[in-house]
Structure 1
Amino acid sequence: MKTLITTLNSKFIHKSLSLRLLYVACKERHDIDFKEYTIKDDLNHIVDDLIQQNLDVLCLSVYIWNVDLIQELCHLLKQKQPNLIIVIGGPEVMYDIDHFLDTFEIDYIMAGEGEIALDKLLTCLENKEEVCLQGVSTKEKRDDRLIPPVDLSYLETLDSPYLLERDKKDMKNRILYFETSRGCPYQCQYCLSSLEKGLRFFSMGYLKQQLGLLLETDVKVIKLLDRSFNAKTEHALEILDFVFKHARPGVQLQFEINGDVLDQRIIDFINEEAPDGLLRFEIGIQSTYEPTNKVVRRYQNFERLCDVIKQLQQNHKIDFHLDLIAGLPLENLQRFSKSFDDVFRLYPKELQLGFLKLLRGTSLRNEANKYGYVYQQEAPYELIESHDLSKEDIEKIHLAEDMLQKYWNSGRMPITMNKVLRACASPFYFFLDLGEFYQANDFKFFGFQLDELFQYLNLYLKGRYEDELIEDYLRLSKVKPKKWWKPRIENEKETKHLLINTYRLNKEDVFRYGIVEKLKEEYILVLYKNYQVTVEKYHI
């Protein structure tokens, strides 16, 4: 039976590991292939492409970002090819099989890890045998159990899902997802990972072999899917030691860690041995309010977490991505603003402000009435209001989040924002007030030009940080940008001559590639040559 495994990725840059694992697990015994689409692709074009392949079986991986599109895709396919056998799986469908069996035009649901189960299901279908597999359900025969976890040592015997020949040409253009373990040691009540039981690790020999081969390719970003990379200290240290010794310049590895329990040996090892720019750590702090953390079973020592981050920030070797969730139980707007400020004071490269999503199967969704949760009935099931946050409160947090993205996470104006935010009483209310200033002045939230972004902030700050904004703006461009501020030099040509003569600068470079501007205490000269930016400051 001709079978295709597919999904709709959120973006082309994301590479689906699950499709590749299922493929390498089944390709020796079945006529099977995989193909990726994105949520931006036209559904009708996807349908036509799938129909033209004359498939017998279609397997679809379902996630929160594609579930509605997958439902429509199944409907369109069944209209055109009623005999097509459609199998769905993935984290979105695992914990509420009745909903999907009742509302999707499908034949089978696989709930759990599919590398062995899909092989067995296809064998049953090909031999026209009754399907009686744990965790595999039909509309008529439902099994609420999950598929038994796969023995990871079996996966190690398969061809590498990371180094398929067809993927090699695009390695540098896509994020490569990698796993060193499965499961999660924590039980956060808003997260699907809390429903997984146990923590399993791939063998170190296998991991080193795979990473060694990967680091010889031109891959740029390797993102580990481990829910807590540092759950086992010796395992984490050995992986870090290997990648420190074998990583080439230009590659970055991204890890999700639990910072407050990061062993001091790991901290010291990173500070002493890590190459600059190799590591990016993502830490899900979510809230700094202890009663909230207790309710959602997100136990953490925030004081220790701050100490860990500050230790790792000393050498500026690691990019930090810290996460907060707005809408957790017991945290009203005022208390959330404190969580925001607490975390922002760590000055991460990126602070991701997310909004609570009531995911299928999670405890918080099951207890929604207890906390007055009103949420979207369609994916992504985002919170609308609760006992602790009104709709107006959530709108305010969204407004602050928009400004956070534009002015901090974007990294467009680090000199200005660091100076402004280190001086303000509350970063959260700074961003909220800036957003309200946008609204009051009818500034563009979308479709703005880069110079407008700087002008808006300059107006809000009443010109107090114009020097810093000018420098950030001039550093940001790769070619000569247009000035958005009132020029401060009456005769730029004369000033350039003065700089050239005083500091013996290259006349052609200064006049052909340079912009000069007067700051409060000095002149800034920026050269835009061969898409390289050189910035110097001079006193005259």
Structure 2
Amino acid sequence: MNIILTTLNARYAHTSIALRYLYANLKEYQRETEILEFTINDNIHEIVEKLLKNSPSVIGIGVYIWNALEVSTIIDIIKKVSPETIVVLGGPEVSHTPYRVDFSKADHIIIGEGENKFYNLIDSIKRGLIIDKSVDNEGVPVLSSLNMPYEFYSDHDIQNRIIYVEASRGCPFKCEFCLSSIDKKVRDFEIEKLLNEFQKLWDRGARNFKFIDRTFNLNIEKSNKVLDFFLGKDDGFLVHFEVIPEFFPKSIKDKITEFKPGTIQLEVGIQTLNEDIAYRINRKMDFEKIEENLRFLEEQTDAHLHVDLIIGLPGESLESFADNLNRLGDMTNCEIQLGVLKKLSGTTLDRHDKTYKMIYSDLPPYEILQNSDIPFLKMQEMKRFTRYWDLAFNSGNFKQTIKKLWIDGDIFSGFYKFSTWIYNRSKTTYQISLNRLSEYLFEYLTEVLDFNKTEIADIMVADITKINGRKLPGFLREFATYIPPINKGGNKDIGKRQARHRD
């Protein structure tokens, strides 16, 4: 057989660890299999052309919330022009019903973790056996029995893209908005075997590691060994972990303090600081411990932090969300990732639909449209708020300038007024260049808030030129008192975004 494993990643820099797991565990069928990765921005017809070029017998496609609509179209085209090709789907978007995107033309759908299931399916197809459309004939694999996927990252991947890795699967928590809450048990990979794989990646030149574990710091012994692995390396790498905010034992804290600037990034899931809302969505939180740990990470480490907040949770008003943002802004100077609530199939979030009049889009990413606390028009404003927040605040491009929007300490109100103004000014939330955004921010601060133009220009120049090699927007030259020379060597950090956030 000729087998193709494929998916559409959200960005070129991303890689699919799932495809490589399937490939690593195909045993005798591996030599007949090829991995082809695309992005959601690629032309659909050209994707299908490349998939069908060598007349494959089977095409396996990884389906996610960001590529579900494109995959549906790809299946439709394949079945029209090459109906004999067997299309197999897998991934989180097809592992839980109801399906809100049409995948009916696929031949088989693998439910859940697919390493063993996909091999068995291919073997059954090879032997001509009758197979159900839905493949869910066994439980989760024993992790120690799986072949590791890491040797199947190409040299090009290692040099140019993020290398996704994992030390565990599953999550012990039951947050109702999250698919990980379905996995009640955390399973760990054999740590020594895993570190050996990481060393091989390192020896090949890998320097950008992103762990996909939902609870990296849950297992203290494993976490310390992984941290020790990276602490034993030279600078010039970036490693990303998703961590539980309440649980930072001393041994882990001590190791995090040893990481140099630009080498470690922590994603800290908060979602809400409202105790009643957290209880309502089954999210157990120790708010006192969260604040203590956030302040520790902010004040005593050089870790780059991402802290998450969600808009639209059942029963949470805008006033409550504003309080969340203001409190987080007081605790930390890090990136605050603002997301809009999504209702994913398989979660229990729908139990709140009637009580809080939760209405969601039926199209990916299934975002909330309105609820009893936030009507549709206001929710639209908040979606624009999150987009501008990412461009202006989380980007780190205006690290000091942006604080002029809330000199009274009310972050939410200050930025809400700016986001409303900039939308009325630009009529868009996309394709806003750094130069254009600089002009908007300068105009708002100096003409609406009446700050001195020289003062704002000087702060803005310092922000923008923090990254070597950047060209300064021309309009600032008229007002700034000092224009630093351009270092054409550029910035050599792996994570330029992280570098922009350093003081």
Pick one of 219, 223, 229 that aligns with 2:210: 223
For the pair 1:476 / 2:439, whether they are aligned, the reply is no
Listed as ranges, the gaps of 5+ residues in structure 1 are: 132-136, 489-516, 519-523, 534-540
For the pair 1:181 / 2:171, whether they are aligned, the reply is no
- Counterpart contact for 1:358–1:364, Cα < 8 Å: yes
- Shift in Å at residue 448 of structure 1? 4.4
**What is the aligned partner in structure 2 of residue 510 from structure 1?**
none
Quick one: structure 1 residues 529 and 84, their matched pair in 2 at CA, closer, same or farther if it must change by over 3 Å?
A: closer
**What is the aligned partner in structure 2 of residue 426 from structure 1?**
410
Q: For 1:327-342, what aligned pairs fall within 5 Å after superposition?
A: 327-342=312-327
Quick one: structure 1 residues 487 and 209, their matched pair in 2 at CA, closer, same or farther if it must change by over 3 Å?
A: same
- Shift in Å at residue 405 of structure 1? 1.8
* Deviation by residue 1:227-264 (Cα, 9 ceiling, x = unmatched): 0101111211121112211x332211100001112223
| Number of aligned residue pairs | 483
**What is the aligned partner in structure 2 of residue 260 from structure 1?**
246
**What is the aligned partner in structure 1 of residue 235 from structure 2?**
249
- Shift in Å at residue 374 of structure 1? 0.9
- Shift in Å at residue 337 of structure 1? 1.0
Quick one: structure 1 residues 474 and 343, their matched pair in 2 at CA, closer, same or farther if it must change by over 3 Å?
A: closer
- Counterpart contact for 1:173–1:220, Cα < 8 Å: no
Report which of the two structures shows the higher radius of gyration computed on alpha carbons. 1
The 3-state SS of whatever aligns with 1:310 is helix
Q: Distance in 2 between matches of 1:405 and 1:203?
A: 37
- Shift in Å at residue 56 of structure 1? 0.9
Query: Aligned letter for 1:460?
Result: Y
Q: Distance in 2 between matches of 1:449 and 1:72?
A: 31
Q: When the two structures are superposed, what TM-score results if normalisation uses the length of structure 1? A: 0.84
- Counterpart contact for 2:298–2:332, Cα < 8 Å: no
- Counterpart contact for 1:454–1:469, Cα < 8 Å: no
- Counterpart contact for 1:67–1:379, Cα < 8 Å: yes
Query: Aligned letter for 1:243?
Result: F
- Shift in Å at residue 430 of structure 1? 0.8
Pick one of 145, 152, 157 that aligns with 1:154: 145
**What is the aligned partner in structure 2 of residue 502 from structure 1?**
none
* Deviation by residue 1:358-390 (Cα, 9 ceiling, x = unmatched): 111110135423321111111111100011211
- Counterpart contact for 2:405–2:411, Cα < 8 Å: no
Q: Distance in 2 between matches of 1:187 and 1:285?
A: 14
The 3-state SS of whatever aligns with 1:215 is helix
The 3-state SS of whatever aligns with 1:150 is coil
* Deviation by residue 1:141-183 (Cα, 9 ceiling, x = unmatched): x57x57411111111xx3x42223x611331211111010011
**What is the aligned partner in structure 1 of residue 59 from structure 2?**
58
Query: Aligned letter for 1:109?
Result: I
* Deviation by residue 1:442-464 (Cα, 9 ceiling, x = unmatched): 57754445444333223322224
The 3-state SS of whatever aligns with 2:400 is helix
Listed as ranges, the gaps of 5+ residues in structure 2 are: 492-503
Query: Aligned letter for 1:340?
Result: L
**What is the aligned partner in structure 2 of residue 530 from structure 1?**
488
- Shift in Å at residue 219 of structure 1? 2.5
Q: For 1:307-346, what aligned pairs fall within 5 Å after superposition?
A: 307-346=292-331
- Shift in Å at residue 320 of structure 1? 0.3
**What is the aligned partner in structure 2 of residue 506 from structure 1?**
none
Q: Distance in 1 between matches of 2:100 and 2:477?
A: 61
The 3-state SS of whatever aligns with 2:94 is coil
Query: Aligned letter for 2:151?
Result: L
**Which of the pair has the greater relative contact order for Cα pairs under 8 Å at 6+ separation?**
2
**What is the aligned partner in structure 1 of residue 501 from structure 2?**
none
Q: Distance in 1 between matches of 2:429 and 2:115?
A: 45
**What is the aligned partner in structure 2 of residue 500 from structure 1?**
none
For the pair 1:124 / 2:124, whether they are aligned, the reply is yes
Runs of 4+ in 1 over 3 A off after TM superposition: 97-100, 418-421, 439-452, 479-483, 485-488, 529-533
**What is the aligned partner in structure 2 of residue 300 from structure 1?**
285
Greater alpha carbon shift after TM alignment, 170-179 vs 345-354:
345-354
Q: Distance in 1 between matches of 2:414 and 2:251?
A: 38
- Shift in Å at residue 420 of structure 1? 5.0
Considering only aligned residues, what root-mean-square deviation do their CA atoms show, in Å? 2.3
- Counterpart contact for 2:98–2:345, Cα < 8 Å: no
Q: For 1:38-437, what aligned pairs fall within 5 Å after superposition?
A: 38-96=39-97, 103-131=103-131, 137-138=132-133, 147-155=138-146, 158=147, 160-164=148-152, 167-245=154-232, 247-271=233-257, 273-418=258-403, 421=406, 423-437=407-421
**What is the aligned partner in structure 1 of residue 6 from structure 2?**
6
